[in-house]
Chains A and B, each alone.
Chain A
């Protein structure tokens, strides 16, 4: 069983469109994250949710809106897509305090905006 699963794996869309990426974890973790990895391979945290509550928002444009219907799901909605949004987006989960609890990552969603 996949611990952290993301869909879709690949997403190709045009500028200006709105798209969503879904994430689900079956590890019973309370905390979920979205990370963005750009073309230079830098991995940057975008959001963190703990038990459906937003904990970390790293100065991400308002076009990005995470939604957590329950603690096992954290979806990412992106409005008015721009070329610079092209990247690989990783979902992750952990127990509330990652200082002692490993992050478990999904295999990523490669978003290409044309």
Chain B
């Protein structure tokens, strides 16, 4: 299975940018890179996903390395509400079906 490696925890200050790294050196050519986050006592929430090019949406930006072996989720201005566990996930294909396998994630703490 293609796996991801993330730091266990990171800390940021409110209104500062946050760069959350993810290594996925065994990524295959058809794997998409997904990011989800889980706020306390809630289910995971989709953040962003991409294949090769950098992606932007209203929540965050995703920067993907040229060799696709790593990526970075960028929160442009962290707020207290962004404190959560952030999961970097590769889609895995088993036959005609895809599944997302969650790892340990990075616990992001945002200081006021």
Contacts and interface: CB of A to CB of B under 8 A. Distances in A.
B104 A41 contact: yes
Contacts of B46: 102-104
A99 B94 contact: no
Contacts of A41: 85, 104-105
Nearest to B92: A99
B99 interface: yes
A98 B99 contact: yes
Interface string A79-110: 00000000000101000011110111111100
Interface stretch (B9-17, B37-45, B62-70): B37-45
B39 to A, nearest CB: 10
Main secondary structure of the interface of B (DSSP, over half): strand
Contacts, number: 55
Interface centre among A48, A92, A105 (most CB of B within 10 A): A105
Contacts of A56: 94, 97, 99
Contacts of A45: 99-101
Interface residues of A, number: 24
Interface residues of B, number: 23
Contact of A90 (B44, B85, B97, B100): B44
Given A92-B43, A102-B49, A43 B102 contact: yes
A5 B45 CA distance: 14
B4 to A, nearest CB: 13
Interface string B44-81: 11100100000000000000000000000000000000
Contacts of B44: 43, 90, 92, 103, 105
19 contacts: A41-B104, A41-B105, A42-B102, A43-B38, A44-B102, A45-B100, A48-B97, A56-B94, A56-B99, A90-B44, A98-B91, A98-B98, A99-B98, A103-B36, A105-B44, A107-B41, A107-B43, A108-B41, A108-B43
